[in-house]
Amino acid sequence: MVTDNRQKNKPDSASHRLHTLSILSGKGGVGKSNIAAALSFALADFGKRVVLIDADLGMANLDILCGVRNARYNIAHLVEGSRNLNEILVHFKTSERATSLNGAVSLLPGGYGIKEIADLDEYAMERLFDALSGLEDMSDYLIMDAGAGIHRGVLSFAYASEITLLITTPEPTSIRDAYGVIKSLGAAAWQGSKETASGLMLVVNMASSSREAQEVAERIRLASMQFLGNAPMYLGYVLKDDVIERSVKNCRIFYRSDPDSNAGICVRNLAGDLLRLCEGADIKHEAFKDSGRKKGMRGFLSRLAGTLFADKK
């Protein structure tokens, strides 16, 4: 399982910039973890070096989902200071295509015993932030599976990230909870800060067709526009596909075993669209306007610290 492209893949120019992306939902069980993992491997297929973080601290399970048996160390060892990042990261073998393009995926497994990032003490937080800073040079994308709901920890990741993917399914309960997250993100939760999550994007999972996904996204966007005066951009969809359930049962990432399944193609499309938004010509899309937010890991960490420490003062 272990191959490491990192050493030979140093950033090739001073313009190297890490993109931070968090994945969250209102309702649980809508496919965040599957999409986070599949998207990581799809981005690697486009030649990107990805670090996938299980930031769903209360319910960490990406290691199992990714077929990692008995991950020896996890984020809990990092915050208690007993292990360093290199000892904890799990490096995956990627597809031939990813390897030839220098794409790579590593996982920072989540740990048990930590309920919320917001509960960490000052020293633990400092160790976590130091370790995350170390990821800047070795990766192009940081993908965080942030969990469900509107806890402060989940919203902090969304707020701090350059891009936030809000996952919903076509179920009315999931739609309503997605709207609840948008509302919470837009509310004055960000004490003292004028910034808002600028790169909030909707992904509709378990859709029966592209048309259904579009209708779901439009409903959410309309309600957001009408009641909140702003709406997230619709990024795309993932079709309902039995291949995911089968892969989950076998502790495999569906994108690795079935990249050309219906769901696999959808995830590759999402990855391509994200790359265009982050690095390509579409960067001026109105929902992704440069709001003057500091980019890269430094921007991410300063916003994360800002929200986490805001009411500890």
Would you tell me which residues interact with ligand ATP (CB under 6 A)? 25, 28-34, 56, 59, 148, 205-206, 238, 240-241, 244-245, 248, 263
Nearer to Mg ion, 23 or 132 (CB): 23
Shortest Å, Cβ 21 to ligand ATP: 15
The DSSP 8-state label assigned to residue 100 in this structure reads H
The entry of Mg ion, ligand ATP, none near residue 148 (CB within 5 to 8 angstroms by kind) is ligand ATP
Shortest Å, Cβ 147 to ligand ATP: 6
The entry of ligand ATP, Mg ion, none near residue 216 (CB within 5 to 8 angstroms by kind) is none
3-state DSSP assignment of residue 138:
coil
What's the chain's length in residues? Answer: 313
State the residue for tokens 């990821």: 135
Shortest Å, Cβ 53 to ligand ATP: 14
The count of chain residues that interact with Mg ion, using the rule CB under 5 A, is 2
Q: Are 213 and 237 in contact (CB under 8 A)?
A: yes
Cα-Cα-Cα-Cα dihedral of 6, 277, 20, 110, to 10°?
Answer: -80
In the sheet that holds 19-25, the strands lie side by side as 90-92, 104-108, 49-54, 141-148, 19-25, 163-168, 200-207, 233-239
Shortest Å, Cβ 224 to ligand ATP: 21
Site for Mg ion in 123-182 (CB under 5 A): none
Nearer to ligand ATP, 31 or 111 (CB): 31
Site for Mg ion in 1-40 (CB under 5 A): 32-33
Nearer to ligand ATP, 244 or 301 (CB): 244
Shortest Å, Cβ 34 to Mg ion: 8
* Token pair in block for residue 21: 């992306």
Shortest Å, Cβ 20 to ligand ATP: 19
Residue 306 CB neighbour total at 10 angstroms: 17
Shortest Å, Cβ 151 to ligand ATP: 12
The entry of ligand ATP, Mg ion, none near residue 280 (CB within 5 to 8 angstroms by kind) is none
State the residue for tokens 């990032």: 117
Nearer to Mg ion, 33 or 224 (CB): 33
Q: What angle do CA 63, 64, 65 make, to 5 degrees?
A: 90
Nearer to ligand ATP, 18 or 36 (CB): 36
Nearer to Mg ion, 24 or 132 (CB): 24
Site for Mg ion in 69-128 (CB under 5 A): none
The entry of Mg ion, ligand ATP, none near residue 29 (CB within 5 to 8 angstroms by kind) is ligand ATP
Nearer to ligand ATP, 190 or 237 (CB): 237
Long-range contacts of 122-127 (CB under 8 A, 24+ apart): 123/81, 124/79, 124/80, 124/81, 125/79, 125/305, 125/308, 127/78, 127/79, 127/80, 127/81
Cα distances from 263 to residues 45, 135, 266, in angstroms, run 16, 29, 5
d(CA 208, CA 223) in angstroms, rounded, equals 22
* Token pair in block for residue 206: 């378990």
Q: Which residues bind Mg ion (CB under 5 A)?
A: 32-33
